[in-house]
A and B are shown apart, each in its own frame.
Chain A
Amino acid sequence: MSIGCCFMAGLRRVLRSPALIFWIFATSLLLTLPLTVAMRNAIKQSVGTSLVQQNLRQGLDMDWLGEFLSQGDGIRGTFGPRVVGFLPVLINLDKLLDGRIFSAELGISIAGMLFLLVWAFFGGGILSRYARPEKLYTRSTFFADSGEYFLRFVRLVILSILVYLALYQWVAAPLFRLIDRLTRDTPAEIPEMVYSGLVFLLLAFLLMILSMAMDYAKIAMVVENRRSSILAFLRGLRFVFSNKLKSLGLYLLLILVGVILFGIYGLLAPGPNQANDFTLIVAFIGGQVFLIARLILKLWFLAGQTMLFQSVTGPEAITAMGTPAAASLFLS
């Protein structure tokens, strides 16, 4: 199956399961609600019945913000201009590239861990759905499949965290220290920028390889019924390197979609100036549409990669899933 076929068919497969999109999105929304309520309460308590609320209606009052941040720790410290418009997306991307994605305030770290557990839980059901599109899926089969693979995926998540931490600790950090060392006497910023840019590109590439390997590891766990997370990870790596052009090509094509998506949101992301209910709702919906699109993109990655994996590994793999009749349907 060509990259293009996997690309288009993957999208079709994702869009044929809107309930899946809904449940995952709803779960992520629910996970953020307690912290959001806490933040809302903190803001409301800080503002009280003060006239400052008028300033916050028009924009972000930086004087109030300084007071708010000085009034306590915890999630307060995560609030500020960093939540405006496209900035959170850039900040998270920045954190992804230099390893700070794993260091967050306690409440947010807990939400992150819970989300990963949710992701691990739904992952089995999602990949089963994408790997066996001919099967009639009900809510109970979906959750049954999710439960079937949950513990394996949890082990894989733990392994993933260790691998990524190793990347940041043993590759990223030493490289940045090396740059600092090499440029210790450099009187210009540009050389350091260039070196850092190269390191960021390298890290992005390595993250891409690892992320692909993790995706294919999950797919292998489902399609080939693997149980060992380490072996599945190695299987994923082997698949990536054995099918370099196809796996990389598909991944980069999907990354391009992501760049376009981020670019559109970057142009349209609402700023700080919603002053009435209507504009606020529009801005909120706009943000949620972007996040749903991101989710669809992630599922598209999984669907497209599942199709690529199955097309390469052939009918034996599908036989392992217990539905040999599906092989011909898949390969046609």
Chain B
Amino acid sequence: MFRRILFLAVPASFLSLSPAPGQDAGALSPRNANYTIEVRLDSAQKTLEGKEILTWRNLMQMPAQELWFHLYWNAWKNNRSSWMQEALLSRRGARIPEEGDWSYCEVKSVKVLPAGANTGANLTGKTRYASPDDGNPNDQTVLVATLPQPVSPGESVMVEVSWKSKIPRTFARTGFRDNYFFIAQWFPKVGVCQADGTWNCHQFHAGTEFFSDYGVYDVKMTVPRGWLLGATGEPKGVTDNSDGTATHEYVQADVHDFAWTTSPGYREARKNFEFPGLKPVQMRLLYQPEHERQVERHFRATQATLRYYGTWFGEYPYGHITIIDPAWESGTGGMEYPTLFTCGSRVLNPAGGGSPEGVTVHEAGHQFWYGIVGNNEFEDAWLDEGFNTFSTARTMDAAFGETSDVFRLFRGYIPYMVPEIKFHRMTGGNRLDGYRDAARSDIEATPTFEYFPATGANISYNKTALWLSMMERMLGWETLQNILSTHFQRWKFRHPKPDDFFAIANEVSGRDLTYFFDQVYRKAAVFDYAVESVASDELKTEGLVDKDGKPTYVKGGSSTPKQYQTRVVVRRLEDGVLPVDVLLKFENGDEFRDLWDSRNTWKLYTIVKPVKLSYAIVDPDRKILLDINYTNNSRALVPKADFAASKWASKWMIALQDYLQTLAFLF
């Protein structure tokens, strides 16, 4: 088994061992998709006009005849796109756009620039749209440019693309709200060429995010003078123009995307992150004036992320990070981009309620899972969302403790926190409730873009975080941390696939975890273990027993001392099968523990002891966090639910009485 795992691991890691041709010395990534972009924002017309020079190097062993580009903003060109059609099935995109809300990305020209066999080829008008996922002829989110001659392995091509875009009123976290602009997925972005020469360049789906190669970005953005601007990378300078605009230049190497934002309404704050053993990071926060009192909270959450993710998985390498507190109801909050991320807050946000800390940690955390380890979010979103959900819960717990439930009243403006009611990391932090409702919606191994849109996130985020937590409980945090940090170190600035992670899990743990991943990843198995019945009866014999060689009738004779026969039936109620502990606890404190393989759907335990059973519990350490009903995992011999039922029913009754009196107040 180990040899087979090693064999499978080799092809996937082949590229990590061979140096990429043409790669810069000191480069962290292959840098095979480099962009030099100039763009002008027309804040009144809500348009962008841009020109990019893409220098693309073929990393594969096959020549590339075409270049495939993402034109993400065409997803919101009209209601016929795949994104808009899928949004009807999900909670996203529920609003009905008005005339000025739609967007487009119109490529004006595509030219191959001098250098090599494709010198001077003008491809304008020779491009075509493609719909590789669903064949939707109305979807224009993928543009294919066929090159006159292929790009050989290791060779590069320089392509100049000019385009004009209409900025949307925010869909999918990019767009405008008045003079607030958050610009993401905004330029024609080349897809990822695969080993067989085909392109991994999916259409834009309502339930997925993005995937692209690493490179160097040098971007000049012209915006109204005096507007604060934040972007991926580091600022290289600002040039004031005679027409009342200013051009900001930002540069960043070893990233796979570039986003930026500008608004006259931003305020700015800076702080440094320092922690022993980790690279210092300059933090820059662009925030809304009405959140002035929450500046420190944003920094603390970001610092916690850089510290804990850095020490658990690997150092954040870039030296700078930009935190964006987005405009109110801009729909751009809670999203990640390389070296820049957006949070989201409200004017009234009580400390201890998890906001804005939770979203800040999560999106900062994506710098690691998604930014540095660049998995394909179209196909394997769980590799970043699930990993990050798990990591976020751990970080929140370590940095801030358990958070409390917050109700938002009076149209959501007024928060009311119930401090005594806490969310636990393993279940609340990993979003067990959301998983339970969608446990059977999709097999996790299904490519993400094929998940049912309304419940896809419950699988990518919640389910993954839960089974990672299961691994933590099964293997121990030290081993799991080792697995995750090995995965991070081996796959940083590269594109891992699921099998790459599974191989590392087996390797680092020293165990074959195939059975585990078969259950949680390759099936939509649901776990539900239960103690079906318990009984402890005095052991009495009745019937014919042999005495002096003759069968003699005896009835109900007690033994001395008394003996009790305890019978416990445990059951597997669903199709998820994992070895699970069973614990029987007796009145005198004695314990009986067994590891049940749960291949059969039930098992009977019979134990004779001089004491009665106190309770029985399946999975006492709650290792199987995917168990959708943990209440039925235990059963006490003596029912004691009356107090709990009376307590909570009485509180509910008072709430109901209050409702009736409120109603009667009007009459």
Q: Give chain A's interface residues, CB within 8 Å of chain B.
A: 28-29, 31-33, 35-37, 39-41, 43-44, 46-54, 56-57, 59-60, 62-64, 66-68, 70, 78-79, 81-85, 87-98, 101, 104, 108, 111-112, 115-116, 119-120, 156-157, 160, 164, 176, 183, 185-190, 192-193, 196-197, 200, 207, 210-211, 214, 271-274, 277, 280, 283-284, 287-288, 291, 294-295, 298
Contact = CB atoms under 8 A, between A and B. Distances in A.
Given A48-B631, A66-B436, A214 B661 contact: no
B666 A60 contact: no
B636 A160 contact: no
B531 to A, nearest CB: 8
A176 B410 CA distance: 12
B667 A271 contact: no
A51 B641 contact: no
B641 A115 contact: no
Contacts of B329: 183, 186, 189
A181 B291 CA distance: 23
B418 A81 contact: yes
Interface in B320-375: 327-330, 346-347
Contacts of B656: 32, 35-36, 108, 111
Contacts of A288: 654
Nearest to A24: B664
Nearest to B328: A189
Contacts of B290: 188-190
B657 A48 contact: no
Interface centre among A32, A33, A49, A273 (most CB of B within 10 A): A49
Given A47-B641, A67-B631, A62 B652 contact: no
B288 A188 contact: yes
Contacts of B407: 81-82, 87, 90-91
A54 B410 CA distance: 35
Given A43-B648, A51-B615, A189-B346, A284 B629 contact: no
B413 A193 contact: yes
A271 B653 CA distance: 15
Contact of A101 (B436, B647, B663): B663
Interface string B632-667: 111111111111111111111111111111111111
Given A97-B410, A291-B658, A62 B645 contact: no
B424 interface: yes
Interface residues of B, number: 77
Contacts of A197: 413
Given A90-B416, A187-B179, A291-B657, A43 B645 contact: yes
Contacts of A78: 652, 655
A232 to B, nearest CB: 13
Interface in B606-634: 615, 617, 628-634
Interface in B379-420: 405, 407, 409-411, 413, 416, 418, 420
B658 A88 contact: yes
22 contacts: A29-B657, A31-B660, A40-B649, A46-B631, A59-B421, A62-B421, A66-B432, A83-B652, A84-B418, A85-B418, A87-B418, A91-B407, A96-B665, A98-B410, A116-B664, A157-B667, A189-B329, A211-B665, A214-B667, A272-B418, A280-B646, A287-B650
B141 interface: no
Given A48-B635, A51-B615, 15 more contacts: A39-B652, A40-B649, A62-B421, A63-B630, A66-B427, A67-B631, A70-B436, A92-B662, A98-B410, A186-B178, A188-B327, A189-B290, A211-B666, A288-B654, A294-B661
B289 interface: yes
Contacts of A53: 640-641, 643-644
A28 B663 CA distance: 12
A57 B649 CA distance: 12
Interface of B: 177-180, 263, 265, 288-290, 327-330, 346-347, 405, 407, 409-411, 413, 416, 418, 420-424, 427-428, 432-433, 436-437, 534, 615, 617, 628-667
B662 A93 contact: yes
Nearest to B435: A66
Contacts of B423: 62
A196 B413 contact: yes
A48 B665 contact: no
Contacts of B654: 83, 88, 284, 287-288, 291
B659 A51 contact: no
A62 B655 CA distance: 19
Given A67-B630, A81-B407, A84-B421, A43 B666 contact: no
Given A62-B428, A84-B651, A119 B664 contact: yes
A52 B640 CA distance: 10
A83 B347 contact: no
A288 B427 CA distance: 35
B660 A271 contact: no
A56 B647 contact: yes
Contact of B632 (A48, A84, A120, A164): A48
A166 B651 CA distance: 33
A155 to B, nearest CB: 12
B265 A187 contact: yes
A104 B178 contact: no
Nearest to B642: A44
Contacts of A62: 405, 421-424, 427-428
Contacts of B667: 116, 119-120, 156-157, 160, 214
A52 B413 contact: no
A195 B644 CA distance: 43
Given A188-B327, A193-B347, A116 B663 contact: yes
Contacts of B416: 87, 90
Contact of A57 (B265, B420, B432, B643): B643
Contact of A50 (B180, B634, B649, B650): B634
